[in-house]
Structure 1
Amino acid sequence: MNLYAILAIYKFEMARTWRTLMQSIASPVLSTTLYFVVFGTAIGSRMGEIDGVSYGAFIIPGLVMLSLLSESISNASFGIFFPKFSGTIYEVLSAPVSPFEIVAGYVGAAASKSMLLGLLILATARIFVDYQIEHPVWMICFLALTAVTFSLFGFIIGIWADDFQKLQVIPLMVITPLTFLGGAFYSINMLPEPWQSITLFNPVVYLISGFRWAFYGVADVHIAVSFGMTLFFLTLCLTGIWWIFRTGYRIKS
């Protein structure tokens, strides 16, 4: 394994984050902070508890996931799209670097940025809402697994997109609505049938439910199911990337 190549790609992508600090870190944290102010403090103080958890604390895992999913996809998709758009991707492909090392560099950097953002949002939430983390190891595990999985998904989007507009289609038109409808601001057990059953087809439900369980020990679906669904989506993304490099889809032509 060419660790030097992985580290070179990783450092290059991370350096871009520090050059665009306001856009990459400050803007998402500020946007999520507004959610905490409006929903957690203003509205949350007038609402009752959900599954024994105050509303302000209940929405924290969902808000973290909302930012984590969108930023993971955005960072990874732009990271691979721009070299493809500028033509510098051929320098990487012609170098003695394997597809695994290319993916590890780009996805590793995107996941690292997303995890850093998620931890910053959690630290910011402490200012507005009091919360606890009952299972910190599982919380970090779900945070890292989700960041890696959706960074892989973002990598696929970056390969698929042939213009800058397509980079925003999936995050804005698919991921954000699924997150809002996936229990970020409510428990799906509050929904009447058949909507409760229909919601279980939303993959984001399992991510938010598992992440919320790590905080408060309560979940809409069993923790084993949430973890299994996350691993299943990770496997799908890895399979998709393997197929891309196997066929050269939109990366060698």
Structure 2
Amino acid sequence: MTTRAASRPVGTVTRGTTNPNRLRRMDRWIAATHGAELRRSADPVAVDLGYGAAPWTAVELLARLRTAAPRTRVVGVEIEPARVAAARPYEREGLVFRHGGFEVPVQGSPSLIRAANVLRQYDEEQVAEVWQRLCARLAPAGPGSRGGLLVEGTCDEIGRRHVWVALGPEGPRTVTFATRLGSLDRPSDLAERLPKALIHRNIPGEPVHAFLRDFDRAWAAAAPYASYGARQRWIRTVGDLTADWPVTDGISRWRQGEVTVRWEALAPRGTFA
């Protein structure tokens, strides 16, 4: 794959923490919800931005996306040259690694950019600018297409709890909360994994705080369903949430321990509008 002209990468080096299977929940959600767009693309390119000290997440992303869109290619992008050199032996058909940052050094416009655990170290005030830069690199919308997708979020070290924002060329669309249900005491446990745009806004008066409060209340009210298992309790809880919050997905995703809400309902007051 031809790259853009060489220039200094935009961004700073992350800690690089990574583990196999860490991003499985995000990957499966992308394959389920964005697979049709990847299949429609003439050249479906997905970017694993800031894959870290080891290439596992890029390798896994290729495998999972190809279950939904077999022609997908993945480019792993890292700002630390030594990490790129260490990943090169893992290149194969459909998978390459490039040195770069938020400029996204690939030819054309990617169908997907995944930036997991990348913005955690940045200041909240920097997030909107990074989002705008990355959204501008996405494949544009067109007839029958919503365009490319940016998925930016945070998870714990072994991928049990994860929250991400999905953005299109036009900006943020949704927020998804995903968890291994057996590890959950209450939904607000996910607050520790809110992405940088939201994590400092989990305070009274902010929409995300109100959402997590209502989520916990619905979870408590659904306690009788716990005898049928955590999944049934979660499904009941999310079903109750739909009365007051714009949940965009359905029971097939709820069964996976997920719920997706429109961004506008959770957006911080005064920013990221």
TM-score in same-fold range (> 0.5): no
TM-score by length of 2: 0.30
Larger strand proportion, structure 1 or 2?
A: 2
TM-score using structure 1 length = 0.31
